[in-house]
Structure 1
Amino acid sequence: MKLRKVTAASAAVLSLALAATACGSGKKKDDAAGGGSEAGGKITIGIKVDQPGIGLKTPDGSYTGFDVEVATYVAKELGYKESDIVFKETKSADRETAIERGDVKFIAASYSINDERLQKVDFAGPYLLAHQDVLVRADDDSIKKPEDLNNKKLCSVTGSTSAKNVKEKLAPKAQLQEYGGYSECLTGLESKAIDALTTDDSILAGYAAQEAFKGKFKLAGFRMSNENYGIGLKKGDADLKKKIDAALEKMVKEGAWDKAVEANFGPANYKNEPAPKIGNIVK
């Protein structure tokens, strides 16, 4: 009789343990769907916060831009709700470090794929093909071709590939000014402290489309390079890369990609390239 009581108690404990295991397996499944979730079921994504049309933090604390829409779409496909997304500002010079340290799960921040970066991180995508261009003042007709940047004060941000490209290949005598953010370059351009701002045409179009700057600046129309925007993630995380690629393919297929392009670049009459084939990098 006493033995039967112990056995019954043991059975009850075993039943509770199995129930707890079942609950735990449900969480693991959720984590797998999200490519690995962080504490509290949140996912931290690196973005830019000072690039209109790409990634911008508005005065009310919300985020807008093409990269923000892409990142949000991908996160939802990975199993996260919009309320689970934590956006983290990631400057150009800090992107690889942020990924390597695990500060972010992935980065969607006008992040051009190149061989040097591929040594440190992996990329999903590409999800946008942009081209390097130059933004000048609307009344400045002295810069008509890339070579005209020689002896001009040229601005870009620290860590950007754009300034390096101009100095090494196009206008070696350009007087390079590197600032912490594009908004600082834009202020210098407006005040005539600098003569031109160089980066991707998608970013420049976002700035030129702002209400406060309409009519003040113009794109020079130089297609000086191909810039494939990819989603940066930790090197070797093949599973997450595969899931992000699948999400990007779905975004393009169902038309959400086209809607995001029109919403964020349309006001500046930006002539975007068609959606790139995922995994196909044009150099």
Structure 2
Amino acid sequence: MFGTVATLVLLAGLAACSSEEPEREFLGVQRITVAMHNDLPGLSYSSNYDRSGLDFLMFQHIEEEIDVDFSEPVDVSSGDRVTQLIQRKADMTIASFSITADRMDEIDFVGPYLKTRQGFLVGPDGAGIERLADLRGSQICTWQGTTSVEALKGIRETAGADPVTLTDASDCIEQLIDGQVKAVSTDQAILYGFARQYEKEGLRVVPDVTIGAPQHYGIGLPKGHTADCRKLASWLKKHVGTSSWIRDVETSLPTLIKEDAGWISSHKPSAAEIEARSCRDSISP
């Protein structure tokens, strides 16, 4: 009798174990850690532990879409975005992260979810700046770890201006407000966020003045998770075609919307552009 009861208990236990669902995973983990900027108004900004901006809204959409747990986002500097993914200090990075050939060698991207161009932000003493030539003889600031550094390397030859590279965005904005530099140069999407944040200080984006190649913002992932990468890319292709994507940009970057009437055609990526840059080692022709 005792043996029969023991056998039944054992069988019941085995049945219970077999009916349990396996732990859900994405990118090889059961809880996703997302790295984000905390100092870019309109894109990824943190104040009193509250995050806002287009990148943060993208994070919230992904959190709803992917059926795993997410930790609170962690901060990342521009220069550490690739390193944090490689070292698995983050599982995903949403941080105005331009997709480039060099970065695609080391990590995967899903994107773009936004396109932009590199432009110029000036202060109140730059009221007369309307063309690139108007910056001749001035200093132009950008910060470490961004594609903007490379794009500014030729500014001395093309415009007669001197590039200044500082540690982060706040350093450049502080020097612009103090009049130590004439302009700040990086992606226009970022600059329009600063223009709105510092409107009272007289900061503005110089319209229709850009340099370098178009920038394509992607979601950074560690390599080695092709199926999950493709799943996220498939979702993104649908998302950028929704009114939710338009509303997120309008909410996060209202100054860009105001200044650029044709912003959708210039900033919205196509499904083909997403396919060409997502989950690949190089950009597809």
TM-score for both structures, normalised by structure 1:
0.85
Q: What are the Cα deviations for residues 36-68 of structure 1, in whole angstroms up to 9, with x where unaligned?
A: 434xxx321111100000000012x11100011
**TM-aligned CA distance change 1:262 to 1:91, over 3 Å:** same
Q: Which structure 2 residues correspond to residues 206-217 of structure 1 after superposition, within 5 A?
A: 206-210=193-197, 212-214=198-200, 216-217=202-203
Q: What are the Cα deviations for residues 74-93 of structure 1, in whole angstroms up to 9, with x where unaligned?
A: 12211246xx4421111110
Where in structure 2 are there 5+ consecutive unaligned residues? 278-282
Where in structure 1 are there 5+ consecutive unaligned residues? none
1:145 partner letter? R
From 25, 46, 49, the counterpart of 1:57:
46
From 156, 171, 174, the counterpart of 2:156:
171
What is residue 280 of structure 2 aligned with on the other side? none
Which consecutive segments of 4 or more residues in structure 1 shift more than 6 A?
none
From 25, 34, 38, the counterpart of 1:45:
34
Q: Which structure 2 residues correspond to residues 149-188 of structure 1 after superposition, within 5 A?
A: 149-168=135-154, 170-172=155-157, 174-188=161-175
**TM-aligned CA distance change 1:151 to 1:6, over 3 Å:** farther
What is residue 275 of structure 2 aligned with on the other side? 279
**TM-aligned CA distance change 1:270 to 1:118, over 3 Å:** farther
Could you tell me how far 1:250 is from its partner in structure 2?
Answer: 3.1
Query: Whole-Å Cα distance in 1 between the matches of residues 106 and 129 of structure 2?
Result: 36
Contact 2:28 2:225 in 1 (8 A): no
Contact 1:35 1:78 in 2 (8 A): no
Could you tell me how far 1:215 is from its partner in structure 2?
Answer: 6.0
Could you tell me how far 1:96 is from its partner in structure 2?
Answer: 0.6
Report percent identity of matched pairs.
Answer: 26
Aligned to 2:29, what secondary structure does the other structure show? coil
From 104, 109, 119, the counterpart of 2:90:
104
What is residue 203 of structure 1 aligned with on the other side? 190
- Say if 2:194 is the partner of 1:194: no
- Say if 2:257 is the partner of 1:261: no
Q: Note the aligned Cα RMSD (angstroms).
A: 2.3
What is residue 13 of structure 2 aligned with on the other side? 16
2:238 partner letter? K
What is residue 232 of structure 1 aligned with on the other side? 220
Query: Whole-Å Cα distance in 1 between the matches of residues 27 and 63 of structure 2?
Result: 10
Query: Whole-Å Cα distance in 1 between the matches of residues 62 and 238 of structure 2?
Result: 9
Q: Which structure 2 residues correspond to residues 135-150 of structure 1 after superposition, within 5 A?
A: 135-141=121-127, 143-150=129-136
Aligned to 2:119, what secondary structure does the other structure show? strand
Q: Which structure 2 residues correspond to residues 18-33 of structure 1 after superposition, within 5 A?
A: 18-23=15-20, 26-28=21-23, 30-31=24-25
Could you tell me how far 1:142 is from its partner in structure 2?
Answer: 5.7
- Say if 2:61 is the partner of 1:73: yes
1:199 partner letter? T
Query: Whole-Å Cα distance in 1 between the matches of residues 177 and 104 of structure 2?
Result: 35
Contact 1:134 1:199 in 2 (8 A): yes
Query: Whole-Å Cα distance in 1 between the matches of residues 64 and 102 of structure 2?
Result: 30
Contact 1:92 1:158 in 2 (8 A): yes
Query: Whole-Å Cα distance in 2 between the matches of residues 80 and 64 of structure 1?
Result: 22
